[in-house]
Amino acid sequence: MSSTSQKHRNFVAEPMGDKLVTELAGIGPVLGGRLQDKGFDKAYVVLGQFLILKKDKEMFVDWLKDTILANSKQASDCHQCLSDWCDSFL
């Protein structure tokens, strides 16, 4: 696994529960606000979209870029965070 941020490690270290979208790696206050405006208020709702897109990196990254105007790095960081969480907990 490539080097990850502390935010990423914190997210992947424990069950998701009711974590906010801003706790996802790559998602800060601005992108988090955009997600919340679209109805994605919790990390588990974003996880649902991730699973609907079959954990496919390209589709999920494109979805984040199109939906909340994330850049490639932000979208990739979020994908990796959810992917690693799934590897640990699903």
The residues facing 20 across adjacent strands are: 42
Residues sharing a CB contact under 8 Å with residue 5, sequence separation 6 or more, in sequence order = 25, 77
Mean pLDDT of the chain: 96
The mean pLDDT of 18-32, rounded to a whole number, is 97
φ, ψ dihedrals at 3, nearest 5°: -65, 140
What integer pLDDT is reported at residue 1 of this predicted model? 46
* Whether the predicted pLDDT of 87 surpasses 80: yes
Q: How many CB atoms lie within 10 A of CB 7?
A: 17
- Domain assignments of the chain as residue spans, ordered by start: 6-89
Q: How far apart are CA 18 and CA 31, in angstroms?
A: 18
What is the per-residue pLDDT across 35-62, written as a single tens digit (0 to 9) for each? 999 999 999 999 999 999 999 999 999 9
State the CATH class of domain 6-89: mainly alpha
